[in-house]
Chains A and B, each alone.
Chain A
Amino acid sequence: MSDRSESDRLQRESWLQSTIRRPEIGAFIVMIVIIVALLFASNGKAFNALGLKNNIKIISQFGIIALGAAMLMIAGEFDLSIGSMIGFAGMAMAMMLKWGLPFGLGAATPFTAFAVTLVMTLALGWFIGWVVVKSGLSSFIVTLAFLFFLRGVTEVSYRLINQSTQISGLPDFKEESWFANIIGGEVFGWFYNAWFALGKWVEGMGIDRTEQWFLLGGNLNRRGEQWVEGFDARFFWFILIAVVAWFVLSKTRMGNWIYATGDNKEAARANGVPVNSVKIGLFMFTAFCATMFAACQVFDTNTSDAAKGNLMELFAIAIAVVGGTLMTGGFGSMLGVVFGAITVGLVSNAVFFIPEIDGAWFRVFLGAILLAAVFANERIRKRITGGI
């Protein structure tokens, strides 16, 4: 009895137990359920060659901004200006491509338009962060101000310079500019090539594409040619940002600082963590994510308008919460956010594959899992902090 110490009271968990208790597990299970349900409800159409491409597009869009929002939430702050930042960045890029660089610096290339826009959005992100840390005000109210401010600036700029709140008919920059192509072009063509080759091979064995249910049609169109060439480039950027965010958060010193800042700011500061710099840096990161979202859209479609990114800040926060990020900061996982983005992306797109359902069910579903996720996250927090 006497050789029992306090640490012996903590039971070691088995692999299964610790897996079940991971914060991502809820988001993971919901994701699997949605994937399986959608697969059968759409009769495979949601995951055939074109369905997969379209779903991945939405998932990547949600994912890019949700990763930024989640990182910032882990550090204990919100950013409601993400959606307006997307509109602003899209406007800035499209306008430069159409009317040239500011201050009469001549015509813009896709790269210079992107670079100048990124400088502006990072500066805005820095400024928002600076206002939040210096004023000590809630980031909710400061970024709400920027939600209105940036959306207004975007519309006013369109009307003043462009006389119209949308830009369309830009040339297809992807054909000439390698830069536009890596942002708005297609990636992972090998995946679809392999799918096509496999479908062709199975067809050669006498199984027609309409009967290839297990290959979901084998990436063959009606004439038996390759149907889809590749994923949108945003898929690549989503993966890249997710991997970098995961690495930074869980493996680096910066990640430790982000967790420490969101958990207990004063404790972090007492141990020499540069709390303000961490927060400002993360506001710049959400601005970067919004800019990537906008750039992918502009270079993919060669259009832009003043309403782009509307409500996206709320989707980003909802996905972060569904992925297991705590509203109070200090806890969260990038893997969970990826699961959340897949879930929300698939459901938002489901109406295209199951035409009988009303598209508004998406919002009913999102509201329901958001509420469930908040309760689940609160349970996790209580378990970790011993019920305080």
Chain B
Amino acid sequence: MAEPYMRVENIVKKFGPFIALNGVNLEVYPGEVHALLGDNGAGKSTLIKTLAGVHAPTSGQIYIEGQPANFRSPRDASNAGIGTVYQDLALNQLMSVTRNFFMGREITNAFGSMKMDEMDKIAHEEMLKIGIDFSDPTQAVGTMSGGQRQTLAIARAIHFGARVLILDEPTSALGQKQQMEVLKTIKRVRARGDIGIIFITHNEIHSKLVADRFTFLALGQVIGEGTKAELEGQDIRRLMAGGADIGQLEKEFAEL
């Protein structure tokens, strides 16, 4: 088995007396999709914020290519090759595709003016690579569909050096067809072979479609993990619901 690009060892995160994460382990391999599943409040958001450098872990260690890494800011994490695509995508609706793509990292000449043609070209090529042929890079992001925006945010993260791509519920709040587009995009990024993807989702079907490896979180702890093959036959739905027994719920329903 190849070296994991990122390894998370025994991460604990406490907010005062509240234990958000209680010793979480995670491995992300290049060219793999790692699905991170769990119910609301399971600690998924805290975990990705820790990986993205927003929170510092209380204890535990993150390793990048086997070397211990400490992120003091989101910038540190981004420099270490961790690209986070949050649910709100960090896009500006009124600005054009290109201006969003290069927001904060514009290509300029010696006089500080932007090389717009070059930027248009790069934005177009990067998005074409993962599946959107954009006719007009001056189009405002506000006129794009949710799936297209997702693709733009992913293409941006990859272009600026992401080796681990964290996708925070990319398929929620999208229509059926657009969800499929995003899953296709994930598959295309996976096919490049050099990028590991952490795919956070509520949706069991989506995770089964694209993921190679699964981690289930409940109440800040890992309650199940393994590759697709290892988990075959296990009840993914039961793990997703935080281990709660659906049968138990049916019994309670009957009593009401």
Q: Which residues of A contact B (CB under 8 A)?
A: 5-8, 10, 12, 247, 251-257, 259-260, 263-264, 266-268, 270-273, 326, 330-331, 381, 384-386, 388
Contacts and interface: CB of A to CB of B under 8 A. Distances in A.
Given A253-B108, A268-B104, A273-B103, 6 more contacts: A255-B114, A259-B95, A272-B75, A330-B94, A384-B93, A388-B142
Contacts of A252: 108, 112-114
A252 to B, nearest CB: 5
B64 interface: no
Given A253-B112, A268-B104, A270-B86, A7 B92 contact: no
Contact of A385 (B75, B86, B93, B106): B93
A326 B142 CA distance: 15
A348 B203 CA distance: 62
A329 to B, nearest CB: 9
B140 A384 contact: yes
B92 A6 contact: no
B95 A5 contact: no
A206 to B, nearest CB: 53
B104 A7 contact: no
Interface stretch (B28-36, B128-136, B245-253): B128-136
Contact of B133 (A7, A254, A260, A384): A7
A256 to B, nearest CB: 5
B97 to A, nearest CB: 10
A49 to B, nearest CB: 38
A251 to B, nearest CB: 5
Given A252-B108, A388-B142, A10 B95 contact: no
Nearest to B52: A270
14 contacts: A6-B145, A7-B135, A8-B135, A10-B139, A247-B113, A253-B114, A255-B114, A260-B95, A266-B90, A267-B90, A330-B94, A384-B140, A385-B93, A388-B142
B60 to A, nearest CB: 25
A267 B134 contact: no
Given A267-B90, A270-B86, A254 B112 contact: yes
Nearest to A18: B138
B67 interface: no
Contacts of B102: 256
Given A7-B133, A7-B148, A271 B94 contact: no
A388 B140 CA distance: 14
Contacts, number: 103
Given A7-B133, A7-B148, A253-B106, A270 B74 contact: yes
Interface string B152-185: 0000000000000000000000000000010000
B227 interface: no
B92 A259 contact: yes
Interface in B107-146: 108, 112-114, 116, 132-136, 139-140, 142-143, 145
Contacts of B135: 7-8, 10, 12
A256 B103 contact: yes
Contacts of A12: 135-136
A271 B142 contact: no
Contact of B132 (A5, A273, A331): A5
A270 B53 CA distance: 12
B105 A384 contact: no
Contacts of A381: 94
Given A5-B133, A247-B113, A267 B105 contact: no
A263 B93 contact: yes
B7 interface: no
Contacts of B236: none
Interface residues of B, number: 35
A386 B114 contact: no
Contacts of A386: 142-143
Contacts of A8: 135
B242 interface: no
B99 interface: yes
B3 interface: no
A9 B147 CA distance: 14
A388 B144 CA distance: 12
B99 A259 contact: yes
B88 interface: yes
A262 to B, nearest CB: 8
B108 A267 contact: no
B75 A271 contact: no
Given A7-B132, A253-B114, A263 B106 contact: no
A79 to B, nearest CB: 21
A16 B92 CA distance: 27
A256 B148 contact: no
Nearest to A273: B104
Nearest to B138: A18
B19 interface: no
A268 B92 contact: yes
Contacts of B56: none
B147 A6 contact: yes
A8 B113 CA distance: 31
Given A263-B94, A267-B88, A384 B74 contact: no
Contacts of A266: 88, 90
Nearest to A331: B94
A384 B144 CA distance: 10
Contact of B103 (A251, A271, A388): A271
B132 to A, nearest CB: 7
A384 B148 CA distance: 15
A266 to B, nearest CB: 7
Contacts of B89: 267
Given A264-B93, A270-B74, A270-B86, A257 B104 contact: yes
A264 B136 contact: no
B91 interface: yes
Contacts of B74: 270
